Every structure is written in structure tokens, then in C-alpha cells.
Amino acid sequence: MISGMIRAATVDDIAEIRAMIRELAEYERAAEQARATEEQLREALFGEHPAAYALIAEDDATGQVVGYALWFPRFSTWTGTRGMHLEDLYVRPPARGGGHGKALLASLAAVCRQNGYERFEWWVLAWNEPTIDFYKSLGVELLDEWTVCRLSGEPLRELAARAPAIGGR
């Protein structure tokens, strides 16, 4: 059993989650891209139709929030089943090495098993060797043959402007 207090996030955690998102973005050298507001996170996590879910890691001794994991369901046409996409996994630097990351991942794996999810997937930056080594130590398979594609900003708007009408809606 992995130690550490892991619990479902509550609406009272929104400010702390937003702060950790910004910390993660700074670590990933992309602070300017972390624009989510507390209101957006509140709606995404606790609105009528949640877009995502979060777990919180707390320090056993102090009860302080030391990390979080934010995920959402996905669907595989190949397996015909749902899976989990981990959007963020973050443990604050002073708490790293204390088992919180493993506890969060183990808890998410348990959520997968409870829900019949066959896949648990996420991305990691290629330069983030300490994190890659951590994932490898858990038996994670790195899928090097896939490339992430992203369409956003002006290219997204331009392509959308060329779309034909969608029938049946």
C-alpha cells in the first residue's frame, strides 16, 4: 500500500488547484499559457456536466495540499471502451520524493479499474527526464511512435471557417 492522503477535490480546493496549475506551467516553461480562471475550473470540475475530475494529495503530517491530478474520460474506438486521460499530475517541489505522485497515480489506476477503463494515458514532455524515469519505474509504456497534434488559435479559426454545415443537428 502506498502512503499519503489522497481525496477527491472539492469546490473549496479551486484556488489551490489553480495555483498548482500555474506552478506546473512555470515548471513546464509555459506560464503564459496557463490562463484558466477559478470560475472556469469551478464549472469544469463541479458544474452540471463536469468536463474533468481531480484528486488532491495532502501531506500526512500537516494536512497541507501538496499535489493534484486532473483527469477526464476518453473513448477508444479500437477497444470500444472508455479510458482515462491524465491532463495534469503535479507534486509541489518540497513534497517530491514523499510518495505523493505514486499515491495519486495508484489512486487513478484504481479509478480506472473501478470504472472498467482499459487505458490510462497521458503525455510527458520529452525533456523532462526525472519525470520520465519516475514513470518508467512504475512500468509505464512510452509510446514513441505517436506524435501529438494540436490545432489552436488562428489556424483553428481559419479551418473552422471552411467547414460545411453539419446536417442532423
Point out the residues that are catalytic: 135
Asked if 115 contacts 19 with a C-beta cutoff of 8 angstroms, the reply is: no
C-alpha dihedral sign at 89, 94, 97, 99: negative
Q: What are phi and psi of 58, to 5 degrees?
A: -115, 145
* Of 59, 139, 138, 68, residue with least CA distance to 98: 59
